[in-house]
Amino acid sequence: MRYDVLATAFGLGVVTGMRSLRGIAALAVEQKDDTRGWLRSHPYWKGRRHQPIADALRSPMLTNALRTGALAEGVADKQADMPDRIDPIPLLGRVVVGALVGAAVAELAGEDEKLAPAAAGAAGALGGAYGAWYARRWVVRNYDVDDKFVGIAEDAIAFGASKLLARQLVR
């Protein structure tokens, strides 16, 4: 297993911990599909091995759904009545999506082994969720900044980091 694959899986997992759909949305957006449509990316047409996650991420419909979901999550995060990301159900969802992101990174990098990157993505999501939650609380308390502004800064960090990490796979 290559170190760069594990590091990218962990990094996108951290982003997923911050914003649950941002990591997988960045991977989907960075996938370049030809004009024949996403069904033509199936191995039957391309003569390559089956990559179920990568093939799904090439779907324009899924890409648009993930983009919309990531945007909606960024808006919803600013609402006062949203549950904390470290509550059990939202945290479990982030860890599961983080594992999916890790497996997707491995598949997109051409690796056969997906378990270690999936574990790295899940661990990154867990750490990112707790780290970002405590960091946000700390900034709001110590610098007397409105929580919404800290959330916008967190959105910018998650967006930038996810774009940089997802582009590592398409070089």
Tokens of 77: 């995060």
Q: Where are the alpha helices (DSSP H) in the chain?
A: 3-18, 22-30, 43-46, 52-57, 60-76, 88-108, 115-143, 147-167
Number of Cα atoms under 13 Å in the Cβ half of residue 134? 5
Q: Which residues of 31-52 are buried (b: 16+ CB within 10 A; e: fewer)?
A: beeeeeebeebeeeeeeeeebe
Tell me the per-residue pLDDT of 95-151, one tens digit each, with 9 for 90 and over: 999 999 999 999 988 898 999 999 999 999 999 999 999 999 999 999 999 999 999
Tell me the per-residue pLDDT of 43-100, one tens digit each, with 9 for 90 and over: 555 556 677 888 788 888 888 999 999 999 999 988 888 999 999 999 999 999 999 9
Full-model pTM: 0.90
pLDDT bracket for residue 35 (50, 70, 90): very low
Using the structure block, give the residue that is written with the tokens 């960024």: 74
Q: Residue 87 region, left (φ>0) first, then alpha (ψ -120 to 50), else beta?
A: beta
Tokens of 135: 């960091």
